[in-house]
Structure 1
Amino acid sequence: MISPARSLVGLRLGDRSVDVAVPHGTPVYDVLRATGADLDDPTLTVVDSSGQQVDIYSTTGEHLSDGAVLHVLTRPTAVRVAKGGRRDVHDPTVTRPTTSPWWLGVAGAAAVVVTATVVLGIGRGVAPATDRWILAATLLVAALALAVTPRRPGTAGSLWPTVVAALTGAAAGAATVDTGLAAAAQLLVVAALTGATVATAARWGATRRARDEAADHALILLVVLAGAALVCAGVVLMGLPPVLAAAVLLGAVPLVLRALPSMSVDVPDEQLVDVARVASSAVGVRTPEPEPLGAVNHRMVQRTVHSAERRRDVGTVVVSLVPPLTAPLVLASAEQGGLTGWASLVAVLLVALSLGLQPRTTRGAVVRWAPRVSAGVLLVELGLLGAAVGGPVALVATGTAVGVGLGVAALSLSFGRGWRSVGFSRLADGLEGLSTTLALPVSLVGAGAVEVLRLITSA
């Protein structure tokens, strides 16, 4: 049997030295854990012979050369005596400046302005195709450059490069669309979402090996953008009315928010069960048995939980932005007083009800208030659109929005004073489940899916 590729390195652990063979694909973290290093120490640092810090999570055996020496050190901490004789341990890394680079703010503002300019089609109607493609290529290069820019140590705001890269990629995609085409609006949305997806994918690919929080932000944003792009592209390719894409995205919001917490947790199957003992295949029996991941420690659990919370928070904020953007399209395209008009009204109310009730069992300020703010914006849009259109539907919509808003405000005051009710909790659970289940089909009915199916079947 051919022995697996490995690198022979030396470890300096304080006053002792250990010679180890690191297999290719095995991170330094597992090697340190096997040699008994205290990985729970937050001041632990690993450097090579040149003094360069080594990332113990992303650096694997193939990154190390034979004969290399890794030094395991602990950063010194300053001890200061407070009033009353109490000794406080001060870590210099805690007070390290955590401000984001100033150029990210400038780049974000420029990306927003360029994206708005391109999406609105200012000046592109008379510009030749060559100029549009040059502009698109320039924006795409800028988006990819922002995506692969590493975060400097001691800086915060790892979400900003991802957002700026996505906005610049959206502008690059939108710049490729000619506004003179028949379905220019639909193509522009699809191209913008595709460009943002490409830039976000590049950002995720550049940050995932470092296991930085930027990778968590980019991953959840990539999934949301890719899903929206697929829905919009499918509607365009099948020649369906564009409002169907908005209806699908609007009705799927409660389902996505319900599934987001469980989808955010990423635990390898090898950590939960010994895969080598319970699974075998024709290829698996001929390959070397995989090395077990080892025992679970506090540092590993903490990193996994924090990563899941970051994905959940970013996903909740991004998904909560979808209803205020898609609900006006569904309401404006529906026939007032008909089946589609009433169905679109009910769909918006169902989504608002689900967004208002789901955060009752969540933890964290972001995931509790982002859906509620989105529900409040939905009710405001419903009332404004109803007042602008007029008629009985407008009267019902405005009255319902005001009534639901007053009811939510009254319940919020009651909960703030400590009032609890088992009966109300069960009623809220039933309404939440009903609204989450019915939001998508009712949204499709409001977008005219019944008429589309009738035309398809009769053709």
Structure 2
Amino acid sequence: MSDVAMSSSARATIALSIHGPAGVLDLVVPSAATAVDVAREYARQADVPGIPLLQTALGERLNAAVPLGEAGIQPGDVLVATTGVHRPRRVTLLQAAKNAPESPALAAMIAWVAALVAALAAWYAGRAGDDVVRTVAVGVLLACAIAGVLPIGRHARQRAAAAPAFAAAAAFAALHEPGVHLLPAVLGAAGIAAAVVAGIGRALSVDDDEVSTVWIVSGLTVFACCAIPAMLGWDGRVAWTLLIFLSMMAARFAPSLAVDVPDEALLDLDRLAVTAWSARDSQRQGRRGRIVVAGDAMERLVHRASRIVTGAAAAIMVTMLVASPLLLHTASIDLDRIGARCLVFFAGCSLLLAARSYRHAAARILLRLAGLGALVALAVHLVAGPGASHVDVFLYVTVGLGVIALAAAVAAGRGWRSVWWSRRAEVAESLCGSFAFASAVVAAGVFRRLWEMTS
């Protein structure tokens, strides 16, 4: 054993085994030592002419100017001293994929893209007139859904999160027929298919899967909102109205349902601190008890709540982007059209205001996209919908630009973080929710039906 004499102030050392033409030499060097310093010491100890080159065990040459600690050399690594440069061994693509570290963020993004491609494939297969194309698409989507819920291989959680989307796409492709009157029943079947596959994935999963729970709740809700009006013979507007209103309400109640601390996880320090000294102490510092939560339990709670809130926000966004254009398209009578426009407007504004209270960045972005999607659908309907004139379009564009300018001015002045804006935004969110509830009665046709019955 030998130490390299360095004038470095680094205290950490690295134990290395260097294989070379003169045999094996064990050295303990500072982490700030470079490859040239270690090679020079090896040449001196092993009595080798010249200074050899240092390479890793895989044949990668070390940079002479980079310290070993910064080059990724760990204690116990094996280096090779040679006079020539060895090429690193070839690694196949399959071996590189197996040796690559897991990347949950990249896998989640790929799962989102795969779910979007599945939805597009279902839309194309449902509208295609060829039965062979539809059968093949349904078979491939079902196979992907079943393979995704199997807890085998890497990134099983991300695959299980995207598998219900493939099941819903397969159900839509198999049952879709031209005609708006059948669309609620088809979407209800797609929702129950997603809930079933999510339940299978939750049963097969080793750990708790919060995304599967969100899929189950969302699928059953879509099935109930779409299937019950279809069975009762009601118009499709009722289903779309219920979905928009429930999506708006879910943005308020999802965080409270996600953050749920069990009672057994709480520790009452006042009851635990029963010692002889505390028994003699009759003075109380205060009436408020000291209750804490264990660190690992709090970490698990935060991760669980984060996944639930993110999944709920994604479900809200998808529901709003699908139900808002359908409600505006199916509202053909003037009175129902007014209610549909008001419902979409107030629901979108309520989601935008509710997003400000979310501290989770992904959930906040998804809720803002949901609100903006509803407002964009309303703007397209107002500009290109039935009964739109040039004067109306000019008025809508002017008002929209004024709102955008106001929002940009407030955001540039950091007014979103002020207490004054928080109080006004809370009141505005409550008003939007109340107006959306009143608009839902008109958009569903209940108000018009009562008016017709009494007139």
TM class by shorter-chain length?
Answer: 0.5 to 0.7
1:371 to 355, 367, 375: 367
CA displacement at 1:335 relative to structure 2: 4.3
User: 1:298, 1:90 → 2: CA distance?
Assistant: 30
CA displacement at 1:342 relative to structure 2: 2.4
1:96 to 101, 106, 129: 101
Residue 353 in structure 1 maps to residue 354 in structure 2: no
| Alignment-mate amino acid for residue 119 of structure 1 | G
2:171 to 151, 173, 179: 173
Deviations 1:82-137 (A, max 9, x none): 6999999989xxx934364999799757734542233335424xx7xxx9789757
Change in CA separation of 1:194 and 1:203 when aligned onto 2, cut-off 3 Å: same
1:221 to 215, 225, 248: 215
User: 1:446, 1:313 → 2: CA distance?
Assistant: 29
Which consecutive unaligned segments of at least 5 residues does structure 2 have?
1-28, 34-66, 76-99, 269-291
User: 1:366, 1:103 → 2: CA distance?
Assistant: 16
Match of residue 410 from structure 2: 411
Match of residue 443 from structure 2: 446
User: 1:100, 1:182 → 2: CA distance?
Assistant: 36
Change in CA separation of 1:201 and 1:266 when aligned onto 2, cut-off 3 Å: farther
Aligned residues: percent identity?
24
CA displacement at 1:351 relative to structure 2: 1.4
Change in CA separation of 1:387 and 1:157 when aligned onto 2, cut-off 3 Å: farther
User: 1:303, 1:364 → 2: CA distance?
Assistant: 16
| Alignment-mate amino acid for residue 433 of structure 2 | T
Q: Which moved more, 1:403-412 or 1:358-367?
A: 403-412
Residue 387 in structure 1 maps to residue 380 in structure 2: no
Match of residue 234 from structure 2: 240
User: 1:363, 1:102 → 2: CA distance?
Assistant: 21
| Alignment-mate amino acid for residue 383 of structure 1 | A
- What secondary structure sits across from 1:158 in the alignment? helix
Q: Which moved more, 1:322-331 or 1:168-177?
A: 168-177
User: 2:397, 2:108 → 1: CA distance?
Assistant: 45
User: 1:132, 1:333 → 2: CA distance?
Assistant: 27
CA displacement at 1:328 relative to structure 2: 1.6
Match of residue 150 from structure 1: 151
The answer to whether the 8 A contact 2:125-2:137 is kept is no
User: 1:413, 1:368 → 2: CA distance?
Assistant: 19
The answer to whether the 8 A contact 2:198-2:212 is kept is yes
Aligned positions of 1:117-266 closer than 5 A: 117-124=124-131, 139-140=141-142, 142-147=144-149, 149-150=150-151, 152=153, 155-156=154-155, 158-163=157-162, 165-177=163-175, 179=177, 183-207=181-205, 209-211=206-208, 215-266=209-260
1:429 to 426, 430, 448: 426
CA displacement at 1:150 relative to structure 2: 1.4
Change in CA separation of 1:90 and 1:306 when aligned onto 2, cut-off 3 Å: farther
Change in CA separation of 1:115 and 1:257 when aligned onto 2, cut-off 3 Å: same
| Alignment-mate amino acid for residue 146 of structure 1 | G
The structure having more radius of gyration, on CA atoms, is: 2
The answer to whether the 8 A contact 1:343-1:443 is kept is yes
User: 1:335, 1:312 → 2: CA distance?
Assistant: 36
The answer to whether the 8 A contact 1:333-1:447 is kept is no
| Alignment-mate amino acid for residue 304 of structure 1 | L
Higher helix share: 2
Change in CA separation of 1:403 and 1:343 when aligned onto 2, cut-off 3 Å: farther
The answer to whether the 8 A contact 2:138-2:174 is kept is yes
Match of residue 340 from structure 1: 336
- What secondary structure sits across from 1:321 in the alignment? helix
User: 1:168, 1:311 → 2: CA distance?
Assistant: 20
The answer to whether the 8 A contact 2:258-2:309 is kept is yes
The answer to whether the 8 A contact 1:251-1:441 is kept is no
Q: Which moved more, 1:406-415 or 1:250-259?
A: 406-415
Deviations 1:196-229 (A, max 9, x none): 221122112222x423xxx111111221122111
Change in CA separation of 1:384 and 1:252 when aligned onto 2, cut-off 3 Å: same
CA displacement at 1:194 relative to structure 2: 1.8
- What secondary structure sits across from 2:175 in the alignment? coil
User: 1:375, 1:244 → 2: CA distance?
Assistant: 20
Change in CA separation of 1:306 and 1:398 when aligned onto 2, cut-off 3 Å: same
User: 2:345, 2:151 → 1: CA distance?
Assistant: 43
Change in CA separation of 1:432 and 1:81 when aligned onto 2, cut-off 3 Å: farther
TM-score between the two structures when normalised by the length of structure 2:
0.63
The answer to whether the 8 A contact 1:136-1:173 is kept is yes
- What secondary structure sits across from 1:111 in the alignment? helix
Count of aligned pairs between the two proteins: 342
The answer to whether the 8 A contact 1:190-1:232 is kept is yes
| Alignment-mate amino acid for residue 174 of structure 1 | F
Q: Which moved more, 1:402-411 or 1:312-321?
A: 402-411
User: 2:169, 2:68 → 1: CA distance?
Assistant: 59
Change in CA separation of 1:166 and 1:438 when aligned onto 2, cut-off 3 Å: same
User: 2:375, 2:307 → 1: CA distance?
Assistant: 28
| Alignment-mate amino acid for residue 315 of structure 1 | A
Aligned positions of 1:298-309 closer than 5 A: 298-309=295-306
Residue 324 in structure 1 maps to residue 321 in structure 2: yes
RMSD, matched Cα: 4.1
Q: Which moved more, 1:391-400 or 1:315-324?
A: 391-400
CA displacement at 1:263 relative to structure 2: 1.1
User: 2:245, 2:438 → 1: CA distance?
Assistant: 7
CA displacement at 1:448 relative to structure 2: 1.7
The answer to whether the 8 A contact 2:244-2:323 is kept is yes
Change in CA separation of 1:110 and 1:403 when aligned onto 2, cut-off 3 Å: closer
| Alignment-mate amino acid for residue 177 of structure 1 | L
User: 1:101, 1:428 → 2: CA distance?
Assistant: 33
CA displacement at 1:233 relative to structure 2: 0.8
Aligned positions of 1:288-307 closer than 5 A: 297-307=294-304
Which consecutive unaligned segments of at least 5 residues does structure 1 have?
1-78, 275-294
Deviations 1:241-298 (A, max 9, x none): 0111111111222210000101112444554699xxxxxxxxxxxxxxxxxxxx9531
User: 2:315, 2:210 → 1: CA distance?
Assistant: 13
Change in CA separation of 1:236 and 1:297 when aligned onto 2, cut-off 3 Å: same
| Alignment-mate amino acid for residue 440 of structure 1 | F
User: 1:121, 1:133 → 2: CA distance?
Assistant: 11
User: 1:254, 1:373 → 2: CA distance?
Assistant: 13
Q: Which moved more, 1:194-203 or 1:443-452?
A: 443-452
